[in-house]
Amino acid sequence: MKNKGIAFKLAVYIVGITVVIVGLIIWRNDTISRTLLLKNVEDNASNLTRANVNKIQGVLKSVSKITKNEAHVFEGFQITTDQLKRYIRMIVQNNEEIFGCCAAFEPYGYFEDSMYFAPYYYKTGDSIAYLNLNNDDYLYIYQDWYQIPAVMKQAVWSEPYFDEGGGNILMSTYSVPFYKNKNGKRVFNGVVTADISLEWLQKTVSDIKIFESGYAFLITQNGTVVTHPVESYVMNETIFSIAEDTDNPKLREVGRAMIRGEESFTKFRSVVTGENSYMFYYPLEEIGWSMALVFPGDELFEDLATLNRRLLMIGIGGALVLLILIVVISKRITSPLTRLASVTEKIGKGNFDTNLKVEASSREIAQLTSSIDVMLRELKNYIRNLKETTAAKEKIESELKIAHDIQQGIIPKIFPPFPERDDVDLYATLDPARDVGGDLYDFFFLDDYELCFAVGDVSGKGVPASLFMAISRTLLRAKATKGIPVNEIVKSMNLELCKGNENSMFVTFFIGLIDLKTGAIRYCNAGHNFPFILRKDCTLEALDKTHGTPLGVFEDIDYGMDEVLLDPKDSLVLYTDGVTEAMNTREELYDDIRLKELLLGYCNKCPMDITMAIVNSVKKFTGEAEQSDDITVLSLTYFMDKSIKSEGAKTMKKLIIKNNIKELDNLNVFLEKMQADWKLPQKFIMNINLVLEEMISNIIFYGYDDKEQHQIEICFQREENGLHICIMDEAREFNPMEAPDPADLEKPAEERVVGGLGIHLMKNIMDRIEYKRENERNILNLYKKI
């Protein structure tokens, strides 16, 4: 028997060693092969990408050179209107890569008696059409292709756009400003443009074939998708919005590197197939765009996977031969154990009446069978007792759950509780230490402007405390009516709670009635923790007066009351002793000092933020310690009367958007409505729109390190002779006033470093800019005269 056991173990070791060796061979071969293959793919991808980029850049450089020459002609020579038109038409006719060409002059810059002049020739079919861009539907001086080079004083490539009212195609425009000498000074006189149709560019990129499912795509310097196999992405999405929609943080990192003009070979998850893929990206330096080639991982390593499968089959075949030998040798030895294992398996499935008669081939197996038989008898007794105990426990837990649901149904828990009102905001939470607890809070209106609110803490815990809490809350609703003083409400509740109170239970209680017209609060404190008033100037006051004993202690007792006034934006915070008496594992109390320090840090915050900050702070303080008491917090913030706020609305507007590039559409709609409401000039609002799009885009693309949703708040204040704009966000700290101006503005576009132009635009357009960092928020104030 001993020899057979040794032989069995030896066979198992041989099988194990064989499997390990085969696995190591496959792993080593796969690692080396993948490394070599990826290096080869990276070289080929680099060559293919550079070749296509050079092809595209050759066209772009040709267009930019022709346009610059055209600008030099307009600056250096005096030409007639006919000569000007023939020259523009000749450029379009003789250059296949140019779709259209325009010379757009400043108002009265060409004709002294005509404000606008912008002759534009473009291709339509096999002919060349003429269009004067000066019309009511298409004012060229407000277009990006005109304004940006005028402000920047340098040639620029535009973002792709559909030129509705001009060429009526998807295009990109190269704009070059030209000047004239006036009184010895060089004065801006207009912009020369050359349009390229993006159809040939999209076809060039889409013709790049990589395996069966590989593809290439192109993005602009702001991340807008110009070409992509998913047609819905083209000109509708950015690489950043695609990364957010597909939850692909790696693609977001790649997008940032691409718009910075970097090149690299990297691994990422394809948005087309959802599979792991490899990408090589390379910049188009002439225009500031970037091209990427995507190689599908599965197709890339398909041959290598086939080889690994063959090696694996060889290893499995060898292991099967060894296993057959083991089965033949060990079958005789393990037959009794197999039968015994079958019996114990039935026992494990709950069949405790299984017959344990097994023919023992050795003394050891006989002893094992006897031990299992003893275990089976003990297990039957244990399970019988367990069923009885479990049934009783489940009944208690079910009743406690019902009691918990009933108790939670008593207190209001829909927030905000009064969404139709703007004169008060309130938030409350109750976290019982057990399934049911003795804390309570409630709030309700006595009339249109008088709000009743209360917080209480019943002595003890568990079911008795929860019942006393329910009675107290019911009495509050019954006794609190319009016209009854707050101390009389408390006195009436105390009389009822003292009746039949054989267990001597009591409840500490705080009740207040606030007049929302004035902010005046009449309150009564029956032995409860002192509430705090958090003033809008970030000072803290304690309502440190007690007007009587807790309810349910003495029947014949009169209660006093006091009054306090809340100013607009002041907050009142009520809580139970489960907050200040919370204890950590070192038996330290949370205490009033920590609570005061926390509240001072939440000045001018909403009630929900204040309430949850207190609860989270207590939870963090107690850590792993068991919760010893119920925790209840109620926060109330009073605001100014509606009629006062409506006056401010005439000169103030506010827009809140998410950190999503698609939200820029909402910004554009908001600005159009604001222009109509405040009758602002068209050119003025277009400059404001240009600045805000640049600033908001910077916040969305570069301000946040996580992929969570954040809010960006934009406030507009109409002043007597201008507009004040305030942008507030929770992004990482960034002061645009400290950002240096681009040092290479005088250089051609192809030689400049990408980035910094948006902030430079803002500084040139706005009259005054102020920045500060306050309460972990960036606050940017912009001023523009009309």
The verdict on domain 78-197 having CATH code 3.40.50.720 is no
How many C-beta neighbours within 10 Å does residue 363 have? 8
Other beta carbons within 10 Å of 416: 14
pLDDT of residue 3: 44
In a 3-state reduction of DSSP, which class is residue 375? helix
Q: Looking at residue 727, what is its pLDDT?
A: 94
- 């209680």: which residue's tokens? 509
pLDDT value for 113:
83
In the prediction, which pLDDT does 12 show? 65
In the chain, domain spans: 78-197, 360-410, 413-645, 647-786
Cβ 519 vs Cβ 449: under 8 Å = no
Contacts (Cβ under 8 Å, ≥6 apart) of 117: 105, 109, 110, 111, 132, 134
pLDDT at 369: 67
- Quick one: which of 478, 479, 457 has its CA closest to 468? 457
Say which DSSP state 210 is in: B
The pair phi, psi for residue 167, each rounded to 5°, is: -80, -15
Count CB neighbours of 615 within 10 A: 16
**CA gap 38, 297 in Å, rounded:** 10
pLDDT at 162: 78
Torsion of CA 592, 597, 598, 600, to 10 degrees: 120
CA–CA dist 264, 40 (Å, integer) = 14
Angle at 80 between CA 78 and CA 82, to 5 degrees: 145
Whole-number pLDDT of residue 373: 67
Residues 6+ apart with CB under 8 A from 344: 372
Q: How many residues does the chain have?
A: 786
- Cβ proximity of 274 and 292 under 8 Å: no
* 761 vs 742: CA distance, rounded Å: 11
CA dihedral sign of residues 317, 319, 325, 326 = negative
Q: Identify the pLDDT of residue 406.
A: 62
What pLDDT sits at residue 49?
84
Contact 290, 284 (CB under 8 A): yes
CB 247 within 8 A of CB 270: no
The span from the CA of 686 to the CA of 667, in Å, is 12
Return the structure tokens found at 110: 């060409």
- What whole-number distance in Å separates Cα of residue 409 and Cα of residue 405? 6
Q: Is the backbone peptide bond immediately before 550 cis, with ω within 30 degrees of 0? A: no
What distance in Å separates the CA atoms of residue 369 and residue 356, rounded to the nearest whole number?
Answer: 7
CATH 3.30.565.10 fits 647-786, yes or no: yes
Q: Say what angle helices 199-206 and 2-76 make with each other, to 10 degrees.
A: 160
Question: What is the reported pLDDT for 648?
Answer: 41
Domain 413-645 carries which CATH code? 3.60.40.10
Quickly tell me which residue has 């003083």 as its tokens: 485
User: In the prediction, which pLDDT does 590 show?
Assistant: 94
One-letter amino acid identity for 646?
S
- Mean pLDDT for back-to-back runs of 10 residues, the chain (786 residues): 51 67 63 70 81 86 90 85 91 90 90 86 90 79 89 89 73 91 88 89 82 86 88 88 89 90 87 85 88 82 66 70 64 61 68 62 64 69 70 54 61 86 92 80 93 92 82 91 92 92 90 91 95 95 92 91 92 95 92 94 93 95 90 91 46 87 90 89 91 91 88 89 91 88 65 68 90 90 90
